[in-house]
Structure 1
């Protein structure tokens, strides 16, 4: 699910790249303020030129569309919606035009970015119906993919799979390899959310076959997803290979988001391998790239807003000069024009300052999230320390119990032998036989088990109760003893020694106990007892 918003932004950004040759060929490359100003002014100039030809309304629609897509790619949703609505107003009632399909889907994407799923799906559904009406397979495929993305974000995986698979069939029909790649990746993401990692890997791999060697953000994203699939199935070597490939492509693209994702995934994989030093190093790098990405995003937004403000200010000043040249009849009219210009500037300045304040709040929220993550990390470390203390306490109790049993038997045996040695002219054979009987008798006593039960209940107070309730069949005292010894992680040989039976008998007893408990065939009986 983490890739849906990225998918929507990626689609928008790729559309902008197709429309404007002045853009960077790699969407991950950061643009300087001058580049941003250049792009904005180019789009603004195209809009002004198209407005001078009212006889060609579609060019005006396309100019508004491009400017809206540019705003959307920077996260300026209100400005994007304004441009899209202006384009729809210019388009009029011609709902069967392919431009309407693009515009309506783009409006739905804005609502999807804002998690307003109801309005987003209204626009996607409307576009889907229009596409069916004019038999526009591409519009239909894109609308189905966006509907699937909305369902996935809401956890409606059945509907999401249905929409994405219908979209995939349409892209296959058109022979659109990019569309097939993106849709296969979307389906893989859904199966990953469902923890069906084998199916997720199949679809991610299909997507990668179309994207391999393209040196695009999409290729990096699929490689990261393949690495996730291997990591979640325990194949850490393959996970490291795929994620490292993703990192190298992301470095060449200089895409901050993908660099952060790759380092974060490498951190997780190294942690599973027990290489915590490497895991910590990659985690720090991920945090650095995330901070850089947020700073770049905020800077881009502020630069564009500043450019919008300056452009509007200049337009207001130019308009004022024109009015001064045109209107010479009355000073009163000139005053009204000046007041209007000042009011416009103040409004723009107010909006600019408001957005700057929001950007500052976002940075503060990010710092709070980082602090929360650090606290959660410390809580996990404290919990692990407590578990380690409990384990040592358990080991000490087990050792004390065995020592107590051994010492008691040896003490009784020593006392008896002293008595035999002190008496002269005594039939030692009979006495030894009696001693053997006494040893056998002591070995059959249950007092040591009572002490064992006392120690065990102090360390694991809920274990016996949980074990008894898990079985539909009544567990015998011997089976409960076996369960407790397994909970202490003793081997069959050690258990046989304590219970005074053969290891084969212990294996039979373990098999019978396993049958009475709800254990998956792949799970170990010892692990099941330890997890109780």
Structure 2
């Protein structure tokens, strides 16, 4: 709605002017007679016209443009402010070694900083700082450094921000500029608050407060609000309420809606953290009320200035027109009315169309978000199923390893028993039992089950053997690879000895040799190393 407010307002003003043209038989119009005219703007405009009447004093004209630009910037009319700053620069020309140029360049940087255009803001502040160094203009250098620090703070580059702010503070202290020292201390405190280094933040905030204490100024309100905010963040709610309450009282005296909104909002946060939600809600409502009042006042001020600019320009054009002709034909008036109404209709239709288009776009975005959520939920279920499958296979592999160990143990025990029987010569079954032992030994030497175990292991840990081989300085034997796989399954030396059909001492020796081939710290466990691969 804000986008189309300006055109509708201009249309209404044009309609009023068209109606007033029927009575325009005077030869001059008093610009200051409009009820809605902004007196500050009119005074600045008057000073500018007076400066222009003295073309031999370009710096005076530039100063008038600068003051008018500052007024525009204070109202948030950045385009108009930039226009005035550029006109002032045109008057200065190539004389960049002038303090007026430094002020102008800094103000242009402030506009870019307000619009979060950090690259251009930094460029202007740096250029100004270099110029002040050449001019040996310490105050301008301190201001430029402080602005550079603020620029880096907004970008989150706190180290650079602190460096420039501390340089600025040193210069202000050398100049004994109390206002500069106070504001820079507050800026440094704000950076430390962002870094959550609250001890340093309190130190700089209290230094700033010593300079602004009992001044009943906006600067004092800012420092008190910062102190209250820091106490709240460190859990000292009593002092937080005290300092923020003091800031609120001064802001009420100053009738500063912005500071009142900030104070009530901080009080609401403190009460909420204390569990007093009734007071928190009441303070939040107060903050909203002041925010609305502030926006309304800002809009009214901007509207009055724009209206005054428009009326001034229009009435100046009317004066010129009245000098050339005394009447405007009724046909031209009617044609203008039709054009104005047509333009109003077009703007209304365009606004309605854009509104419907925006709603449709929002619906499409909501649908895409729902689809994306459904897809993510589906992938989450699939991932969970895969994890369950891996867990199941891991458990199966462990059971398979234990089964293999148990089978080998049984076969070994059976083989030893049969050997004992076969050693008894008075038995007739000696030859037959020997054959049976031979067959069992033969089965123990088969690698089929190892092949099946290897395939099963690779399904669950496909990259393990490759990673283990890559980490070793020398090539690993098949026996060492088998030992590594069994360690990966977190089996004990006794269980591994049973599976490999060796003694536990042999397993310990094999583990020691394998460890020497791998990049393992002496304090780390071999089993943990294998599991983490």
Within 5 Å, which residues of 2 pair with 1:111-510? 111-323=112-324
Rate the CA distance shift 1:228–1:157 in 2: closer, same or farther, 3 A. Answer: same
| Structure 2, unaligned runs of 5 or more | 1-33, 363-533
Residue 321 of structure 1 and its aligned partner are, at CA, apart by 3.1
Deviations 1:397-417 (A, max 9, x none): xxxxxxxxxxxxxxxxxxxxx
Q: SS of 1:94's equivalent?
A: coil
In 2: Cα distance, 1:264 partner to 1:109 partner: 26
Q: Is the 8 A contact 1:266 1:282 kept in 2?
A: yes
Does structure 2 retain, via aligned residues, the 8 Å contact 1:227–1:238?
yes
* Secondary structure at 2:263 match in 1: helix
Paired residue secondary structure (1:234): coil
Q: Provide the C-alpha distance between the structure 2 equivalents of 1:36 and 1:164, rounded to a whole number of angstroms.
A: 41
CA contact (8 A) 1:36 1:300 kept: no
Q: Is the 8 A contact 1:224 1:242 kept in 2?
A: yes
CA distance in 2, matches of 1:258, 1:245: 12
Cross-structure match for 2:437:
none
**Distance in 2 between residues matched to 1:269 and 1:176, nearest whole Å:** 35
Give CA deviations for 1:110-155 in whole Å, capped at 9, x if unaligned: 1111111111111111100110000001110110011111100000
Deviations 1:438-483 (A, max 9, x none): xxxxxxxxxxxxxxxxxxxxxxxxxxxxxxxxxxxxxxxxxxxxxx
SS of alignment partner, residue 235 of structure 2:
coil
Partner of 1:447: none
- The match for 1:52 is 53
Q: Distance in 2 between matches of 1:258 and 1:313?
A: 37
Task: Indicate how the Cα distance of structure 1 residues 66 and 229 shifts in structure 2: closer, same or farther if over 3 A, else same.
Answer: same
For residues 56 and 80 of structure 1, what CA distance do their matches in structure 2 show? 22
Following superposition, the deviation at residue 266 of structure 1 comes to: 0.7
- CA deviations 1:22-72 (Å, max 9, x no partner) are xxxxxxxxxxx9797100000001000100000111110010000000000
TM-score by length of 1: 0.55
Corresponding position of 1:428? none
Cα distance in 1 between the residues matched to 2:36 and 2:90:
30
C-alpha contact (below 8 Å) 2:36/2:308 kept by paired residues: no
Q: Which has the higher contact order (CA 8 A, sep 6+)?
A: 2
From the superposition, tell whether residues 36 and 240 of structure 1 become closer, same or farther in structure 2 (CA, over 3 Å): farther
Structure 2 residue aligned with 1:386: none
Alignment deviations for residues 341-360 of structure 1 (CA, whole Å, 9 cap, x no partner): x9xx99xx99xx99xx9xxx
Task: For residues 62-95 of structure 1, give each alpha carbon's deviation from its aligned partner in whole angstroms, at most 9, with x where no partner exists.
Answer: 1000000000000000000000000000111100
RMSD: 2.9
